[in-house]
Amino acid sequence: MRQNVALVACLAVLSGVADAFWRLPCRGRSGVARMDPLIAPGKPSDHVHAVHGSGGFAMSATEASLKKGSCTSCAVTQDKSAYWAPALYFMHENGDAELVNEVGGMLAYYFLNGENITAFPEDFRMIAGDPFLRNFPWPVPDPPKSEWSGDQVSQPALQQKALGFNCLNYEIDPEPSLGRHFMPNKTFMDEHCTDGIRFELMFPSCWNGRDVDSSDHRSHVTYPSLVMDGDCPEGFDNRLVSLFFETIWDTYAFKDKQGEFVLANGDPTGYGYHGDFIYGWESGYLQSAVDQCTNLSGRVEDCPIFDLQSEDDQGKCTFPVPDELKNENVFNHKGGLPNNIAIQYGPAYASPVKYTTPGHPAATQPPPKPPKPAFTLGASFNLGSLSSATRTPTPTTSLVPDVITEEVVYLDQEILVYVDDKGTPLETVTGSVETISTSTSTLTTMASAVVTTPTIAPMKRDRHSHFHGRRRHRSGHTH
Ligand SMILES: *[C@@H]1O[C@H](CO)[C@@H](O)[C@H](O)[C@H]1NC(C)=O
Ligand SMILES: *[C@@H]1O[C@H](CO)[C@@H](O)[C@H](O)[C@H]1NC(C)=O
Ligand SMILES: *[C@@H]1O[C@H](CO)[C@@H](O)[C@H](O)[C@H]1NC(C)=O
């Protein structure tokens, strides 16, 4: 066990500092409505979204109209982007749908993972996730990332691993981000998730360098081989800033009620969670932020170029709901989800629009093609956790700000770390072990990756830090 800790510290020393990022709080919610300017421009969308960002959000919103919005529900006033994802409902026993409360709005992380990162280009938009998925045909839980290869690193697999449902209980060690790719059932949540559930969504960050959008709003971007890190596939070698959504829902408020949780798109599994983004930063600003906001704290306060507004002001920014949706009660909807979207349990790919009552308009968009399942394993999940001594949990932020103090035991041991030409560790070789000192380190968990930034290691360590670049083939890594 001690050996492992030392090894992690050693790797961190070798690989230098962690990647920078900033965490953009969007404490206000600009609205909840059946609106989706990407999928259903100019008309009501099928399902309800929780929307954050520009007050210029509308059924026909574009980058230009978002930028004209008079406010944003996020902290940085230079950002008028729109961020939206399906809302979460509690379906009561009698069939009525009640909107679950969001805790602390939404957090939009901007991770600077990879090399030569650029901001989103003007007019950029994209969707992550697939609203019709109801199945997970990949191994559960995820195998270690070093073992991902073949189908494991296919885009359909990476897309599903980009979703996370984090069961929150601030009394115990946090679960890893993106550790569970389905929504736990209510029995499980009632028992374990006393602080609610956090939805997590990683967007693709490899871009074809050409198209700011595509007909499905997806095919101009892809995931890197480890979802948020790794190599970009051929043809998508432009690394964009990595966008990651986090939203906490107060599911525990329904502890004593009979019913189930369902996403607004009729998904009780979570596999159909998705999110949408339309870029709306002030021209040139995001690139300056990518270049300058490199403080590892992740706090927007530590980036000198951001103009910040108070949480109160974030909370005041809302968009006008169009007349045709004004009378729709999206908070408490009688007899089913808003728009009477049917709940589809899967595992089959959901039909595009299936209403619980007849007389609704037919679907106007053909559904995207379902991915080919390679193999199916039963859904089981082991709670992962990080060993930690102390941490300071806050109700509305994620794992990232939780600073964990941990004792690191430095061992006198030769550790050879073989890396490929991208710096990805391939193999380690260890000699005999002898404790030489202990020290305290600060461990920060970032979405899906544990990054250890140890205090200065004892001098003696240095002579054992070998860094061997060695080319070596292993499937799943490109050279
Ligand atoms: C980043 O840019 C530098 C300089 O243009 C180039 O040498 C390097 O190969 C690039 N790295 C990647 C991963 O594209
Ligand atoms: C709820 O989920 C847990 C953990 O995945 C599982 O053991 C249990 O059987 C599920 N309960 C129901 C009612 O589906
Ligand atoms: C990062 O921000 C902290 C405050 O959170 C500040 O003390 C520190 O000097 C900053 N580091 C850099 C490199 O700017």
Q: How far is the CA of 185 from the centre of ligand 2 (A)?
A: 6
Residue 30 one-letter amino acid:
S
**Paired tokens of 171:** 């009394």
Per residue, the 3-state secondary structure of 236-304, as one string, reads CCEEECEEEEEEEECHHHHCCCCEEEEECCCECCCCCCEEEEECCECCCHHHHHHHHCCCCCCEHHHCC
Beta carbon of 256 within 6 Å of any ligand 1 atom = no
Convert the pLDDT of each residue in 139-197 to its tens digit: 999 999 888 988 989 999 999 999 999 999 999 999 999 999 999 999 999 999 999 99
Question: With contact defined as beta carbons under 8 Å apart, do 34 and 46 qualify?
Answer: yes
Coil, helix or strand at residue 37:
coil
Return the ligand 2 atom nearest residue 379 CA: 5
Where is pLDDT greater, at 451 or 261? 261
Convert the pLDDT of each residue in 197-245 to its tens digit: 999 999 999 999 999 999 999 999 999 999 999 999 999 999 999 999 9
Beta carbon of 187 within 6 Å of any ligand 2 atom = yes
Choosing from 185, 186, 261 the residue with most ligand 2 atoms within 8 A of its CB, the one to mutate for a pocket test is 185
Q: Which residues contact 117 (CB under 8 A, 6 or more apart)?
A: 239, 240, 241, 290
Average the pLDDT over 327-351 and give the result: 94
* Cα–Cα distance measured from residue 464 to residue 432, given in angstroms and rounded to the nearest whole number: 12
> Which pLDDT value is given to residue 19?
82
Cα–Cα–Cα angle for 426, 163, 291, rounded to 5 degrees? 70
Beta carbon of 432 within 6 Å of any ligand 2 atom = no
Nearest-CA residue for atom 14 of ligand 2 = 185
Main-chain phi, psi angles of 326, to 5 degrees: -60, -35
Residue 186 one-letter amino acid:
K
Residues at CB less than 6 angstroms from ligand 3: 295, 297, 299, 302
Nearest-CA residue for atom 11 of ligand 3 = 295
Residue 195 one-letter amino acid:
D
DSSP string, 432-444: ---EEEEEEEEEE
Number of CB atoms found within 10 A of residue 95's CB: 13
DSSP string, 344-360: ---SSPPPS--BSSS-P
Beta carbon of 475 within 6 Å of any ligand 2 atom = no
- Closest alpha carbon to 280 in 59, 44, 57, 66: 66
> Which pLDDT value is given to residue 18?
60
Convert the pLDDT of each residue in 273-302 to its tens digit: 999 999 999 999 999 999 999 999 999 999
Q: Which ligand is nearest to the CA of 117?
A: 1
Nearest-CA residue for atom 6 of ligand 3 = 302
Cα–Cα–Cα angle for 404, 167, 246, rounded to 5 degrees? 80
* Cα–Cα distance measured from residue 70 to residue 92, given in angstroms and rounded to the nearest whole number: 38
> Which pLDDT value is given to residue 224?
96
Reply yes or no: is the peptide bond before residue 44 cis, omega within 30 of 0.
no
Q: How far is the CA of 298 from the centre of ligand 3 (A)?
A: 10
pLDDT interval class at 310 (50, 70, 90)? very high
Convert the pLDDT of each residue in 95-110 to its tens digit: 999 999 999 999 999 9
Question: With contact defined as beta carbons under 8 Å apart, do 273 and 267 qualify?
Answer: yes
Q: Which ligand is nearest to the CA of 237?
A: 1
Where is pLDDT greater, at 353 or 347? 347
Question: With contact defined as beta carbons under 8 Å apart, do 275 and 245 qualify?
Answer: yes
pTM (2 decimals)?
0.75
Convert the pLDDT of each residue in 419-464 to its tens digit: 667 666 666 655 555 555 555 444 444 433 333 333 334 343 333 3
Convert the pLDDT of each residue in 62-77 to its tens digit: 999 999 999 999 999 9
> Which pLDDT value is given to residue 362?
39
Question: Does position 14 have pLDDT exceeding 80, yes or no?
Answer: no
Q: How far is the CA of 115 from the centre of ligand 1 (A)?
A: 7
Please provide the average confidence, as pLDDT, over all residues in the chain: 79
Cα–chain center distance at 326: 31
Q: How far is the CA of 189 from the centre of ligand 2 (A)?
A: 10
> Which pLDDT value is given to residue 467?
33
Beta carbon of 187 within 6 Å of any ligand 1 atom = no
